[in-house]
Chains A and B, each alone.
Chain A
Amino acid sequence: MSVFLNIVTAVVIMATTPLIIGIIKKLKAAMQNRQGFPLCQAYFDIWKTLHKSEVLSKRTTVVFRSAPYIYFAAIFAAAALVPLFLTAALGGEVFLLVGLLATARIAMVLAALDTSSAFAGIGAERELFFSLLLEPALLIILFSKIYCGSTDLALLATAQLHAQFDLQNLLVAIAFFMLTVAESGRIPVDNPDTHLELTMVHEAMLLEYSGKRLALITWAAQIRQAIYIILFAQIFIPWQLWQEPNLLGYLSVLAIKILLTLGLLVGAETMTNKMRVFRVPGYVGVAIALAIFSIFIQ
């Protein structure tokens, strides 16, 4: 029953994700000389949203009503593929991960178009636009890691045991980091914290949701961010220390790596300004170019 391990991975990621978000918010507040929310604020938010009653638009159909469940299920399944414990039954086929994330995206975009709201429309439009850039970028960056081996995420992660932190790995790491920033809806690309719907991408699509459905989507969106963060930590930070044979040592190294990633993310978010939507192709282009360079360096 090694599927069990997949499910455990997904559950662990799901349970710790709000904490990761809390750490990001806390670090950000610290960098801006603010007190910030409590560390567990994301849990409280979800808890509170679950207790709210729900308003559904009467214009919507079954697509809007079922989309949060499809979104959550697809992202949960994607989280199950993440090589958190380095081995599992569903080894973590790269293309399956991409396919599941695309499924989640389709569900959200269709739900947004179902509301017939202009804000949701602009969110959907931009989400599709970004996905067109980010999906090839993700595949190419992962390809630069896998191009002479298997397309299995777990094998990819174990291969890092013997990786050197050379120029090639550095370039790919930067490329994937840029992608993580974009995919997790952080500042140069998207801004989830503004009060203006027009400047948002992902959040604009959720405007019509409330209550339990909103809670599901918020949690799933956080898991999606966590997937990228953990992938970055596991595959793109080669660290000899994690050869520690015992579970505790392994987990602590993993935690340090994730914290490091979070620090980088917060730094990047605090130091940059949000760019115009039509600048994003150039930004993703740089990431792709770095990945391509790294392939030819070898």
Chain B
Amino acid sequence: MTDYLLVTIISAYILAIVAPLVLSSRALLFSALLGAFGSLVVGIAAVTVLFGAELALRVNMTAVYGGLSLNIDPLAAFFLLLTSVVGVVVSVYGTKFIKQNENPRRLAALGNLFLLLLFLIFSVDNSLEFLFVWEMMALSTFLLINHNYGDGKVNRAAWLYFVAAQIGAVFIIVAFALLYSCYQSFDFSVYRLALIDSKTATAIFTFAFIGFAIKAGIVPAHGWLPAAHAAAPGNISALLSGVMLKMALYGLIRFAFQFCVFDSYAIALVVIGFGLLSALYGIYSSIREREIKRILACSSIENMGLIFALIGMALFYKILGYNQLAVLAFAAALLHAFNHALIKSSLFLCASTLIKQTGQGNIEKLGGLMKFFPKLGWTFVLSGAAICGVPLFNCFISELLMFKSIVSLTTVLPNAVGKLLALIALFVFAATIALVVVSFSRLAGVTFLGTPRSEYPRFSNCGKLLLVPPQLLLAAALLIGLFPGAVGDFFAAVIDKMQLFDLPSSAALVGYFRLYGGVGVFSTTLPLLLIIAFAYLVMRLITRIGGKRPVVEDETWCCGIVPDKNMQYSARGIAQPITRAFSCGFSNRCKKCRLDIVERLSGWSAAVRRMQNGNLHEYVAYIMAVTVILLIVIVFI
């Protein structure tokens, strides 16, 4: 039965890729629905693995597909579940969205190819196949980012992505090659035995970490990410941010907890350090951006940073032997990855609808959109609230777990080092979540509230198919936030099945997920809801005092002047005190605080290029200089 699931998935996707290319553009709807169906079956397969009696689902389809062996283990199944949720929603969104783009048939085919590759990357069980799919993924992503290739910016972003992806791939290939040289095998199941000694494992993990960090956009290798996510078509940006970045996380977890087992915690501290750095720097750069999709992409850097820091903490606790805390940090990482996939996809889908409707994504020229698209507006504002970590939404739960795992750092190392570590981690974490509030209040406030800052074209009807998908994601996010107890049980079961830690995780986790002291699945958030309900009653009572009073609508008071659209605060203005106080310059071009390695490299290579200017006289001068230097060296040494 399970073979049929896999065959169904692959054939649905292949049909969805071929249909728009071969048939007329009328097949677009068919293709998008097939993509959605394929993603749905991926979800079913993932749930089968996570809940089914059999833990591994090994299918060798040599006869049909020529040597492709797929094996979905619980870790892969978790990521497939995430892929499936986002994939279904984005495919449904695509039914209408793809038609609004140039060259829709190509976009539809490539989008479905991307979904197929996402499915394969999590389910292959062999390093050669993994690398093959990984490279195919880089190529298809390049084509997708470059979809509007007429635009020079888009072109540059796509190439930047491709170069970054290739550099990352080199490190990953080296890591796998080293593994092969240790085991003489390409099979993941052999690697899982983790027989190599600690030093070699550390070396291999270092390579893998660099490779996956580049793929995840960890600072300082993040330069490609905002550009690429902003350049891609809207539905693809949602997949890139929501799912593709998690691919790097998946690889990192495989290497950190399964393939390489090492006993020095220094490297875990490095992972934590890079994660925290990306978190802070990513969100800080988002408050300097003005393009809506770039802001969202910068926030993805931040979230990947938080997740990497959590993985680092899980590793740290595991190496020191605190399995209970390791499970806590690991669960927080997985939950945050899931939350980020839901919320960021929702935000990207809203943003792409908005850009299609208004014709631009520069928030300095938007404003007041809540009045034109109230439904889009509240979906966006609530998704923003969710990502800010407002209680009763999903990200609050994962941030709370992260807070707990940071605070526990001192119980592990009760000396000055531990205190210092916990302090730095806590400070960066707190500053990050405060900056997230700044960033999203600014984004939502400037885009959707206030007075319009430019003349909008006449809006077409937004359409349910563009609105419902992000709302579905938001609803899922809200469900996670409202029932953390059930989510905790689910995660405990899933992590137990992954068998990465030596202890049954349910014991470690359940207490942390039963958040507000409640017992039972439904009562975890019940106390808080009761208090809020009571607050509502109190408000009703208070406003009853004084009876019903007339409510008049009038102009905003602004010292007697009718406020102009230019008098309200701009996106730049809101960020100004922060950028000024932290003296990193006001402009986006501030060189001092650019951590971006890609920009640095291109700056250096420009300097080197100045030497190669094709001027014959200069080349003669170089030869002359070299001769003189050589003579001096020979004479004096």
Asked whether, in the complex, the Cβ of A147 is within 8 Å of the Cβ of B577, the reply is no
Q: Is B321 an interface residue (CB 8 A)?
A: no
Asked whether, in the complex, the Cβ of B427 is within 8 Å of the Cβ of A140, the reply is yes
Asked whether, in the complex, the Cβ of B399 is within 8 Å of the Cβ of A95, the reply is yes
Asked whether, in the complex, the Cβ of A96 is within 8 Å of the Cβ of B370, the reply is no
- Top 6 closest pairs, chain A to chain B, by CB: A121-B569, A113-B445, A136-B430, A51-B546, A76-B535, A135-B434
Looking at the complex, which of B154-162, B298-306, B549-557, B598-606 is the stretch in contact with chain A? B549-557
Which chain A residues numbered 50 to 95 have a C-beta less than 8 Å away from chain B? 50-64, 69, 72-73, 76-77, 80, 89-91, 93, 95
Q: Is A267 an interface residue (CB 8 A)?
A: no
Looking at the complex, which of A170-178, A207-215, A239-247 is the stretch in contact with chain B? A207-215
Looking at the complex, which of A21-29, A99-107, A181-189, A226-234 is the stretch in contact with chain B? A99-107
A99-B391, A147-B419 are known; give 14 further A-B pairs, CB within 8 A: A3-B526, A6-B531, A57-B554, A80-B531, A89-B517, A99-B400, A103-B390, A116-B450, A117-B556, A117-B568, A125-B573, A129-B581, A143-B426, A278-B577
Q: Is B257 an interface residue (CB 8 A)?
A: no
Which of A91, A113, A215 is close to B446, meaning CB atoms less than 8 Å apart? A113
Asked whether, in the complex, the Cβ of B545 is within 8 Å of the Cβ of A119, the reply is no
Q: Is A286 an interface residue (CB 8 A)?
A: no
Task: Report the minimal beta-carbon distance from A105 to chain B, rounded to whole angstroms.
Answer: 7
Q: How many A-B residue pairs have CB under 8 A?
A: 267
Give Cα A215–Cα B573 distance, bound, in whole angstroms.
30
Which of A54, A102, A139, A216 is close to B390, meaning CB atoms less than 8 Å apart? A102
Task: Report the minimal beta-carbon distance from B428 to chain A, rounded to whole angstroms.
Answer: 9
Which of A58, A63, A277 is close to B370, meaning CB atoms less than 8 Å apart? A63
Which of B391, B422, B448, B550 is close to A103, meaning CB atoms less than 8 Å apart? B391
Give Cα A135–Cα B419 distance, bound, in whole angstroms.
19
Q: Is B14 an interface residue (CB 8 A)?
A: no
A selection of 20 A-B contacts at a CB cut-off of 8 Å is: A6-B531, A50-B545, A53-B549, A62-B370, A76-B531, A77-B391, A93-B515, A99-B389, A106-B437, A106-B441, A126-B577, A128-B578, A131-B434, A143-B426, A146-B407, A147-B410, A215-B542, A278-B580, A288-B427, A296-B419
Give Cα A135–Cα B580 distance, bound, in whole angstroms.
19
Question: What residues of B have a CB within 8 angstroms of the CB of A136 in the complex?
Answer: 426-427, 430-431, 434
CB-CB under 8 A for A99 and B390, given A3-B530, A121-B569, A139-B430: yes
Question: What residues of A have a CB within 8 angstroms of the CB of B532 in the complex?
Answer: 73, 76-77
Q: Is B449 an interface residue (CB 8 A)?
A: yes
Question: What residues of B have a CB within 8 angstroms of the CB of A61 in the complex?
Answer: 370-371, 374, 377, 449
Question: What residues of A have a CB within 8 angstroms of the CB of B368 in the complex?
Answer: 59, 116
Give Cα A222–Cα B58 distance, bound, in whole angstroms.
62
Question: What residues of A have a CB within 8 angstroms of the CB of B422 in the complex?
Answer: 143, 147
Mask for A260-297, Cβ within 8 A of B = 1, else 0?
A: 00000000000000000110010000001000100110
Give Cα A278–Cα B579 distance, bound, in whole angstroms.
11
Asked whether, in the complex, the Cβ of B449 is within 8 Å of the Cβ of A54, the reply is no
Mask for A190-215, Cβ within 8 A of B = 1, else 0?
A: 00000000000000000110011001
Give Cα A109–Cα B423 distance, bound, in whole angstroms.
29
Q: Is B416 an interface residue (CB 8 A)?
A: yes
Asked whether, in the complex, the Cβ of B445 is within 8 Å of the Cβ of A114, the reply is yes
Question: What residues of B have a CB within 8 angstroms of the CB of A11 in the complex?
Answer: 538
Closest to B442 in A: A128
- Mostly, the A contact residues are helix
Task: Report the minimal beta-carbon distance from B340 to chain A, rounded to whole angstroms.
Answer: 17
Question: What residues of B have a CB within 8 angstroms of the CB of A296 in the complex?
Answer: 416, 419
Task: Report the minimal beta-carbon distance from A20 to chain B, rounded to whole angstroms.
Answer: 18
Q: Is B121 an interface residue (CB 8 A)?
A: no
Closest to A131 in B: B434
Give Cα A64–Cα B567 distance, bound, in whole angstroms.
18
Question: What residues of A have a CB within 8 angstroms of the CB of B433 in the complex?
Answer: 102, 135
Which chain B residues numbered 360 to 399 have a C-beta less than 8 Å away from chain A? 367-368, 370-371, 374, 377-378, 381, 385, 388-391, 396, 399
Asked whether, in the complex, the Cβ of A14 is within 8 Å of the Cβ of B381, the reply is no
Task: Report the minimal beta-carbon distance from B343 to chain A, rounded to whole angstroms.
Answer: 15
Q: Is A168 an interface residue (CB 8 A)?
A: no
Asked whether, in the complex, the Cβ of A128 is within 8 Å of the Cβ of B441, the reply is yes
Asked whether, in the complex, the Cβ of B407 is within 8 Å of the Cβ of A208, the reply is no
Give Cα A215–Cα B557 distance, bound, in whole angstroms.
19
Give Cα A115–Cα B396 distance, bound, in whole angstroms.
28
The CB with the most chain B CB atoms within 10 A, among A95, A124, A211, is that of A95
Give Cα A47–Cα B543 distance, bound, in whole angstroms.
10
The CB with the most chain B CB atoms within 10 A, among A51, A55, A90, A128, is that of A128
Task: Report the minimal beta-carbon distance from B549 to chain A, rounded to whole angstroms.
Answer: 4
Asked whether, in the complex, the Cβ of B426 is within 8 Å of the Cβ of A139, the reply is yes
Closest to A280 in B: B581
Asked whether, in the complex, the Cβ of A90 is within 8 Å of the Cβ of B378, the reply is no
Q: Is B177 an interface residue (CB 8 A)?
A: no
Give Cα A106–Cα B431 distance, bound, in whole angstroms.
16
Give Cα A224–Cα B450 distance, bound, in whole angstroms.
27
Closest to B553 in A: A58
Question: What residues of A have a CB within 8 angstroms of the CB of B526 in the complex?
Answer: 3
Task: Report the minimal beta-carbon distance from A157 to chain B, rounded to whole angstroms.
Answer: 16
Question: What residues of B have a CB within 8 angstroms of the CB of A118 in the complex?
Answer: 558, 563, 567-569
Asked whether, in the complex, the Cβ of B400 is within 8 Å of the Cβ of A96, the reply is yes
Give Cα A295–Cα B391 distance, bound, in whole angstroms.
29
